[in-house]
Each structure stands twice: as C-alpha cells, then as structure tokens.
Amino acid sequence: MKKVGGSAGAKGVAARVLIHEFGKKSNRPKDPKTSEDEKKKTSRRGEHVINNNVLKVFRTMIDRFAAKIGSNASQLLANKEHTAAYQAYYAPLPEATTQSIRYAMVAHIPEDDHYIDANATAYGAAIGIISETVVTYMYDYYSNNSYNAPVVDRSITDLVRLLNESQLYVDEYAKQYWLHHGGSEALFEESRQQVLHMFRRLCAPTSGENEAKQWVRDLTGHT
C-alpha cells in the first residue's frame, strides 16, 4: 500500500510540474504573433475559443473506466438518468454553455493570418494526465486494489487547479480575434466559469468529496 501510494504521489508531483510549465509557456499577449514556421492553418469551421474537448472529457473518463472493468458506459448508465454519472456523461455543462462553446464562440480567422493555438498541445497533454489520474483513482476505489485516497485525491485537486489557473482550454488567439469581431466578453466569462466549475467537480462538490467517486457508485453500486 505504501509503495503504491508513493508511486502515485511521485506521478502527481511530476504531473503538477509538467502542467505548471505548460501554463507558463502557453501564456501569450492579447495580440499574439508567431513566426512563419509556427503558423497553423485555420479550419474552415472556425477556431473554438474554448476547446471543444471540454464537452466530452468526462464522457471519455467514464468510457475508459467502464472498459477497464469489462463493461461499457451505456450499459452501466441504463435507467440511471438522475445520477451524477449520467449528467457527467451526457450533459456535463448547461445546455446554453454547450451551445456557446460549439457554435457561438468561434473565430473565423483568415487563412493568411499568422495564427497559432498556443494552448492546444499543452491542453492535450494536461487533460491526458488528468484523465489517467482520475480513471486510475476510480478503478482503485472500485476494486480497493492498492487504494490510497489522500495521495491520489490531492493529485487530482492540484492538477485541476493548475488547469483552471492556466486556462489551457482557452485559445487566446481565437478569443482575441473573436472579441475584436463582435464577440461578447460577458458570454466568454460566463462560459469559462461554467467550465472552471465543471472541472472543480472532480475535486470537492457540495457532497464534500470528488465527483469521480460518486461516478463509481452510480455506475457499479459500489459503497
């Protein structure tokens, strides 16, 4: 038990350092510029101000946990519409926020602009670390296999805090372009706050414990 806890703690420290470094490197001025070799081709559908992945990250975590225990999420969530796990899987954010992220907060940047999403790689790496940590936490809680809640739980809390402080899910270039072309600061801030609170649910919701533990209970009946 102690050996596994120490390993989890070491991984948590490494992950926190990595995300912190990503956050520092990803900070860009309000009118970010890049060199020609950093330029990224813009998408025809536009560039999302808040990374679209935030809409499905909880779903991915639950899918991975379900697969890890030899099942699938749709089966485990059948007839459980009023549970936290069901909401996290199908509607992790308010519908208005989901629509804003998908369709309203989109920057249509010209192809000849020197555009780069400075946070894309950092966000992908950070969310990968967080997802792995949460799924491992869920599985260890479910199986009580080398379960060490305080160490792993603290890692999740620290990772989420760093993710939110760095706002790695925000494409700063797209945000500034969108704001300068009719976008609403109030809409962005409302959506950002909803995403921030969504990720915080992995740490300490109103029940006093992280939501990932409740997902396990909802999915498996674990007590």
- The per-residue pLDDT for range 56-91, each reduced to its tens digit, is 999 999 999 999 999 999 999 999 999 999 999 999
So what's the pLDDT on residue 20? 63
Kindly tell me if the per-residue pLDDT of 31 is higher than 60.
Answer: no
Q: Which of 142, 166, 168 is nearest to 221 (CA)?
A: 142
Q: What is the mean pLDDT of the chain?
A: 83
Q: How far is CA 30 from CA 21, 35, 169, 171, 180, in A?
A: 20, 16, 16, 11, 11
Q: At residue 115, what is the residue type?
A: Y
* Residue 84 lies in domain: 2-27+34-220
pLDDT digits (tens, 9 = 90+) for 111-122: 888 888 888 888
| Predicted confidence band of residue 19 (pLDDT cuts 50, 70, 90) | low
Whether this model's pTM surpasses 0.85: no
Which residue blocks in 41-171 are alpha helix, DSSP H? Answer: 57-68, 73-76, 84-90, 95-99, 120-143, 149-166
Total tally of structural domains belonging to the chain: 1
Residue 214, burial from CB neighbour count under 10 angstroms (0-12, 13-18, 19+): middle
CA R_g for the chain: 19
Identify the residue with better confidence: 209 or 146.
Answer: 209
One-letter amino acid at 156 equals I
Instruction: Please say if the pLDDT value at position 32 is more than 80.
Output: no
End-to-end CA distance of the chain: 21
Is 30 or 133 the better-scoring residue by pLDDT? 133
pLDDT score at 210: 84
Count other Cβ atoms within 10 Å, centred on residue 159.
Answer: 24
Q: What is the distance, to the nearest Å, from the Cα of residue 141 to the centroid of all Cα atoms in its chain?
A: 21
- Give 154-190 pLDDT, tens digit per residue: 888 888 998 999 999 999 999 999 999 999 999 999 9
